[in-house]
Amino acid sequence: MNARVRQEFERIHGHAPEGLWAAPGRINLIGEHTDYNDGFALPMALPQTAVLAARRRADGLLRLHSAQGDGRVTELRVADLAPGAVPGWARYPAGVVWALRERGLPVGGADLHVDSAVPAGAGLSSSAALECAVAVAYEELYGLGLGRPELARVAQYAENAFAGVPCGVMDQMASVCCAEGSALHLDSRSLEVRQVPFDLAGHGLRLLVLDTRVKHDLADGAYAALRAGCERAARLLGLPALRDLGEAELPGALGRLPAGLVPLVRHVVTENARVTRAVDSLTAGEPEALGPLLTEGHASLRDDYGVSCPETDLAVEAANAAGALGARMTGGGFGGSVIALVPAAATADITTAVTTAFTQAGFHPPTPLEATPSQGATRLA
């Protein structure tokens, strides 16, 4: 992959790159729709990364090329970058450069070529991988002195304000901060992180990712509406964010909310508590105890938060019926991927069972991949 990315860069841009960087996609083990409520999450990096070759330019141009694009080079003037002005995949890398300049940082142009193995549209944060690869490359090339959490904030700002997606910070934090062999206990308010060892192989377990290849159109508007609902609930309760509501105070708080906000708040509060329980299980060396938490989290996303869909529900049901320890949708929802914690020996049977259930339901069979906790963004060469 590295040699190919370097060669392609030279073919397209006519000179050698100054370096190669990689940033991964992620799955989230538990803690869904909690990040924009200042809450907790437990993502881990996938082995699949976006690999970026880059070289600074002195003329203020940003020249972007993607192995997954249409073959054309997108040429932009850094000084003219503005939200909404760049369409397609190029808005993610361009947004990061724009966001760095918005912070008053002295960044200029660059030649970039990216080749990503993170499946797009699968809920595995392919856009965050792309943003974070550019963020770490620019950090080094332009000597910005930004720490990893600051780079994640820059990438999130690019996605929010430049690409117009009102996401939280989890995907970008996972992509820049994860460590091999660990899940990342993230506090989305302080951006404090703790690496929690997650030894699947040592416990005879595997983590199966089933990409349903479904992406429902309502995703963007629905995500923004859910986020707005949570923020409104926090205001009504007189709290800075729903993170500040504990499980013990939940029954009293729910009684003070309009009926429409009750299930949202119940999901966020119980989900934050599930993150704590999951971290405790991993810390105690009992990863199999994650299983029931995954399935509970899925029920909460399905019944209270309303972000699952028939395909993700069926994948969870079929995986569990075939012997998974637990399963849930991962990411924003409305399609995307399901993760299942499975006994290693049962991986093939569980995959087959889900495929059969999908075929019987008239759905396209999901694409399986195996997730191992991998390292966050890094320089390759």
User: Toward ligand GLA, which CB reaches closer, 241 or 350?
Assistant: 241
Give least dist CB 250 to ligand GLA, A: 19
For residues 358 and 365, the answer to whether their CB atoms sit within 8 Å is yes
User: Toward ligand GLA, which CB reaches closer, 156 or 281?
Assistant: 156
Give least dist CB 148 to ligand GLA, A: 17
Number of residues that bind ligand GLA (CB under 6 A): 11
- Angstrom distances, CA of residue 73 to CA of 63, 90, 112, 174: 6, 10, 9, 29
* Six-digit token string for 131: 């943003």
132 lies in the site for ligand GLA, by CB under 6 A: no
The answer to whether the Cα torsion of 312, 313, 316, 322 is positive or negative is: negative
φ, ψ of residue 50 to 5 degrees: the values are: -95, 120
**Using CB under 6 A, which of 17, 332, 335, 368 touches ligand GLA?**
332
Catalytic residues, which ones? 171
Give least dist CB 359 to ligand GLA, A: 28
Give least dist CB 176 to ligand GLA, A: 14
For residues 340 and 327, the answer to whether their CB atoms sit within 8 Å is yes
- Angstrom distances, CA of residue 246 to CA of 168, 172, 260, 269, 378: 21, 26, 20, 7, 37
User: Toward ligand GLA, which CB reaches closer, 20 or 170?
Assistant: 170
Binding to ligand GLA (CB under 6 A) within 27-46 occurs at: 28, 32-33, 35-36
92 lies in the site for ligand GLA, by CB under 6 A: no
331 lies in the site for ligand GLA, by CB under 6 A: yes
What does the angle CA 218 – CA 264 – CA 340 come to, to the nearest 5 degrees? 70
Give least dist CB 264 to ligand GLA, A: 13
177 lies in the site for ligand GLA, by CB under 6 A: no
Residue found under tokens 């508590």:
273
Phi-psi label, residue 39: left if phi above 0, alpha if psi -120 to 50, beta otherwise: beta
User: Toward ligand GLA, which CB reaches closer, 97 or 173?
Assistant: 173
**Using CB under 6 A, which of 20, 167, 173, 357 touches ligand GLA?**
167
DSSP H or E run through 343: strand 335-343
Beta strands 109-116; 61-66: pairing state: parallel
| Binding region for ligand GLA (CB under 6 A) | 28, 32-33, 35-36, 167-168, 170-171, 331-332
